[in-house]
Amino acid sequence: MNLLFAATELSPYAKTGGLADVLAALPVALRRRGHSVACVLPLFRSIRETIPELRPTDLVLHAPLGPGLQSARIWEGRTDREIRLFLVEKDEFFDRTYLYGPPGKDYTDNASRFFFFSKIIPLLAPHVRPTPEILHLHDWHTGLAPAFVRAGRLPFRTLFTIHNLAYQGNFWGLDFPLTNLPSDYFSPAGIEFHQHINCLKAAIVFSDRLTTVSPRYAREIQTPEFGCGLAEVLRERRYKLSGILNGADYSRWDPRSDPALPAPYSEHNTGAKQLSKDLVAKQVGWEPSGAPLFCVISRLTAQKGIPLLIEIIDEIRKEEGRLVVLGEGDPYLQESLLGLAREFPKSIAVQIGFDEAFARLLLAGADFLLMPSLFEPCGLTQLYALRYGTLPIARETGGLADTVASWDPATGQGTGFLFQAPVVSAFAEAVQRAKAVYRDPPSLQAMRQEAMRQEFSWDRSAAAYEEIYQRLLGRPG
């Protein structure tokens, strides 16, 4: 099959979250299965600066944006894994420091930026060789593309993947002329949502098939609690919605071969994990310790449960527990965590920003990964943590529930510690359970080994997507 992926992130060139990791790995897994895969992204400044040997083509595409006609030159390149890239060059939209806006803010012209990008996707597709049969679109920034395909009666099937329903691309209804769609598309049966344009709703309504990134999340988003206002729209289209669990890229995230670690290790030799733990301590200015080390590697937002984390700091610090936080996000939460690090410099360390080498070392050195998310479509960090023998302490929601088996003292089995209610007492109790296992070295070792044996490869995910592609094209599986 011939596939064209469209998104705004691809690791390591343009990244704010897990979407970038999916775009780096899933096309590679599909190519291994014999499919032709290419990707189209905006030519962001970060991509121009980090991908060598980009070259402009002679292809210039034109699309209306309201009353005016806008143009974009197409560039070509390849990822470090030889996936073909097509980049949409329009510097006034994409040559900026940030992808979507400065921390905590959006660029005021995001409607124009991503409406235009969504228009270019189906215009580019006929120029890609071999010609794509399916446009696989990701998140709200490409959400209008299925509507443009439908309105133009273009010969492509569309699959849209929801990575996080909370981010929907809502814009004033006054921006509707920028879409250049027929007027009846701005209606409750179309892209209109409470007098706004909703890009994610557009994708839900007009795409041929929908997926999201875990089976549990596919069910959750059809409920009022997790539906972010779109639960009814999704329930009406549940016939075309599937949940496919994201995979882990073990070619990049594996302690047996990770160059960021002081020594490799596996489930058969976990002793070298201590060397990483000691190096983490050294890098944050601590002396090595035999106490439990907790880590957070996350966007620092309310969705990720960071306020809950702040509330249980005293529980974490009991029995000389230590915490290292790596991430960035909400300025208030960042400052709150930094304040705790200043107050407890011997037990709390906070690094604002993202450093992948340190993230790898921290995953290897920590004993427990904290993921108290209010909701979590899939999560990738817990998949990596399992392979590194670092046990997740996580809310039982979305992909976390699909990938972490909670420790059962009666059977001696489990790969982490789940809690249900997003409240301080439940989270603190899960930390207490983890510490109890830490005090029991045989149980801790058994859990680590079981965690490291878990298999969440992208090949399994790619096979599930392949089945959906075949159905879209009316081919037998």
Dihedral Cα 56, 22, 452, 274, nearest 10 deg: 60
Q: How far apart are CA 438 and CA 445, in angstroms?
A: 9
Q: How far apart are CA 165 and CA 219, in angstroms?
A: 12
The pairing of beta strand 84-89 with beta strand 68-78: antiparallel
Q: What are phi and psi of 409, to 5 degrees?
A: -60, -30
Q: What are phi and psi of 440, to 5 degrees?
A: -120, 85
94 and 42 in contact (C-beta within 8 Å)?
Answer: yes
Is 15 a known ligand-binding residue? yes
The pairing of beta strand 196-198 with beta strand 170-172: antiparallel
Q: How far apart are CA 279 and CA 65, in angstroms?
A: 53
246 and 399 in contact (C-beta within 8 Å)?
Answer: yes
What angle do helix axes 273-283 and 356-365 make, rounded to 10 degrees?
130
Q: How far apart are CA 32 and CA 214, in angstroms?
A: 22
Q: How far apart are CA 250 and CA 364, in angstroms?
A: 14
Count of CB atoms situated within 10 Å of the CB of 103:
11
- Summarize the annotated binding site for ADP-alpha-D-glucose as residue ranges: 15
- Summarize the annotated binding site as residue ranges: 15
